[in-house]
Structure 1
Amino acid sequence: WSVGAGPEHGLHELLQVLVREKLVGVLTSPENTPGRIARMLLAEGVAGDFEMAVAECLLQDGECIHDWMDVTVVSQRGFAEPNVVLVRRCAVSRDALFGLEDARFDQRKPDKGLITKREVRAVSLARMALQRDSVVWDIGAGSGSVGLEAARLCTQGHVYAIEKNTEDGAIILRNRASLQVTNYTLVQGKLRRLGRMARS
């Protein structure tokens, strides 16, 4: 798993369910273990919002149930197979879905103005009439404010942000982590160059 992985990744859909739901049960596989799920949550910076329980070898010799554990603990352990993992979300965001204060976003300093102002973001997002499963391209993402708020609305969709400036790219990643948005991929580079790469 890498931060910002898109829908093409096999665990992407699970991550989106985990951040939406309060309690999720997962029948794991040898490839997608409790540890791999835990490491995904750690990589996304949301591990502190969750705890996990693991049931090994249910109704078999060697059955063992590990009660609620910190995600970091699960990421470092191995568990007997077959196993089932329960993932419980403990923290609930208090932020509005969109229309966040401008101060909620990190911006390039001392150069102000690289953020779409709150009122403009709110009207733009409303006019886009986004659906839960919308796919959004934010070209020239700047601080990422529009795309990140769009991602919070499109909980079953995905946002791809294109930004050529590396300093702004770093700011976008900080804002993504701060808002704990998991359905958002930063594509660093110029659109024309990215188009050539896609065709080759």
Structure 2
Amino acid sequence: MSSSGAPSEIVVVGIGADGWASISPSSQSLVLEASVLWGGSRHLSLVPSVDGQQRVPWPSPLAASLPALLSEYAGRPVVALASGDPLVSGIATTLLEYGAPVRVVPAVSSVALARARMGWSSESCEVVSLVGRPIDRLVLHLAPGRRILVLSSDASTPAAVASLLTSSGWGASTLTVLGDLGSPSESLQSGVASSWSGDSPALNVIAISVSPSVEQRAPASVSKPRPGFGLASWAPGLPDSAYENDGQLTKRDLRASALARLMPAPGQLLWDVGAGAGSIGIEWMRSHPTCHTIAIETDPERAARITRNAHALGVPDLQVVEGRAPSALSGLDAPDAIFIGGGATREGVLETCLAALKPGGRLVVHGVTLETEMLLARAYAAHGGELTRIGVEAAEPIGTFTGWTPARVVTQWALDRAPV
């Protein structure tokens, strides 16, 4: 949305849980002198009454109603109230995404207050927002000894986080729920995730000291790794058993090879074409919290399985498109990288992917059939790049002895598109 359909300026003023007294005199003047004041009902109730001031509570649902609100006040100056720092999982971020002309006057954020109460430096902890976001996003950040500050959606978030930690093998983690930070009713409740109980205030931040459960510290089976502890790494090549699959899975060593050539970078988008179990797209997103994936899969059962795997491995925002390439690729955002794990020989798939790839983008294609291998040989001759045959052998029992068991050889074509 362009700023032409928005107020001439929106000054977003942060206000603490302790209310009107928490903001500076200059910020108080901004609020009192505003002809139009937006905010949540709770925030608006904290401000002294002003004759003639128009006070507008945020509409619900906010995302669907905000464009109309911006248009209604187009060309007029507006002041809006927000909790703490409006750019920490706050309304200012949303307004900026709509292209509105925003000026932010922050108060002390809940993150800063939580760090102060816990004695945690900013360098020693991670901040994860679950405000309006899937709770499974937290899984990506779980590793032994990590400190995490979770921005909660509501009073139900602490119990849900405790349940998630327990079910994923981190039940020994310590939770501290910091409620109504900065207000006279500020509270603190601590406990272990596996035995968490009790109510929490609606406004809360959760501090987590991550620790694996006792059973998770035991040696892991090769065939079945520990659910949480063994999956803490963001490096490519998670154990194959980390994925629910029906056999259509890019195996661990091949996955690591493909991702090394796809080169995930913060904020970039991958198309995972013929995604199978979704492992390439999932590990692309696990490499950095701002990476995105669109997984294209024609089989409905596999498409549903990709979604389950994405949630289980901490990247629930992965987008699944159920359909057959190349037609299913139409209208998708242009990718920074493409992996084709299946269907490369289908007419138009490779050509469509090459045409869609951004300048500076990367393409990796795997093939196990002679037909795909011949296609990739022709592509290599026409476009260059890197053509590799990868054979992996694993030691397995042969009677009372041990021998090498080869996996199917895979031909890999990798291409780096030159930047403009």
TM-score bin (small chain):
0.5 to 0.7
The reply on whether 1:156 has 2:290 as its aligned counterpart is yes
What percentage of residue pairs aligned between the two structures are identical? 24
Give the superposition deviation at 1:14. Answer: 9.2
The reply on whether 1:77 has 2:199 as its aligned counterpart is yes
Structure 2 residue runs without a partner (length 5+): 1-96, 98-129, 213-227, 334-420
The reply on whether 1:98 has 2:233 as its aligned counterpart is no
Question: Who is 2:147 aligned against?
Answer: 23
The reply on whether 1:86 has 2:202 as its aligned counterpart is no
The reply on whether 1:126 has 2:260 as its aligned counterpart is yes
- Residue 165 and residue 43 in structure 1: after superposition, are their counterparts in 2 closer, same or farther (change >3 A)? farther
Aligned residues: 181
Give the superposition deviation at 1:127. Answer: 0.8
Does the 8 A contact of 1:155 with 1:183 survive in 2?
no
- SS of the residue aligned with 1:52? strand
- SS of the residue aligned with 1:130? coil
Structure 1 residue runs without a partner (length 5+): 1-7
Q: In the TM superposition, what whole-angstrom CA distance separates every residue of 1:139-185 from its partner, at most 9, and x where no partner exists?
A: 2211112112222223332222122211212332343355x222552
Instruction: Give distance in 2, aligned partners of 1:35 and 1:188.
Output: 31
The reply on whether 1:181 has 2:314 as its aligned counterpart is yes
Instruction: Give distance in 1, aligned partners of 2:149 and 2:253.
Output: 40
Give the superposition deviation at 1:125. Answer: 0.7
Instruction: Give distance in 1, aligned partners of 2:211 and 2:285.
Output: 21
Instruction: Give distance in 1, aligned partners of 2:316 and 2:190.
Output: 29
Of 139, 149, 154 in structure 2, the residue corresponding to residue 33 of structure 1 is 154
Instruction: Give distance in 2, aligned partners of 1:69 and 1:185.
Output: 30
The reply on whether 1:190 has 2:323 as its aligned counterpart is yes
Does the 8 A contact of 2:177 with 2:200 survive in 1?
no
* Structure 2 residue identity aligned to 1:55: L
Question: Who is 2:405 aligned against?
Answer: none
The reply on whether 1:166 has 2:300 as its aligned counterpart is yes
Does the 8 A contact of 2:179 with 2:205 survive in 1?
yes
- SS of the residue aligned with 2:301? helix
- SS of the residue aligned with 1:143? coil
* Structure 1 residue identity aligned to 2:199: R
Bigger Rg over Cα? 2
Does the 8 A contact of 1:55 with 1:64 survive in 2?
yes
Instruction: Give distance in 2, aligned partners of 1:45 and 1:161.
Output: 29
Give the superposition deviation at 1:84. Answer: 3.6
- Residue 72 and residue 194 in structure 1: after superposition, are their counterparts in 2 closer, same or farther (change >3 A)? farther
- SS of the residue aligned with 1:160? strand
TM-score under structure 1 normalisation?
0.63
Instruction: Give distance in 1, aligned partners of 2:330 and 2:263.
Output: 27
Q: In the TM superposition, what whole-angstrom CA distance separates every residue of 1:101-123 from its partner, at most 9, and x where no partner exists?
A: 44443322xxx4x2223333222
Does the 8 A contact of 2:239 with 2:252 survive in 1?
yes
Q: CA RMSD in A?
A: 4.2
Give the superposition deviation at 1:138. Answer: 1.1
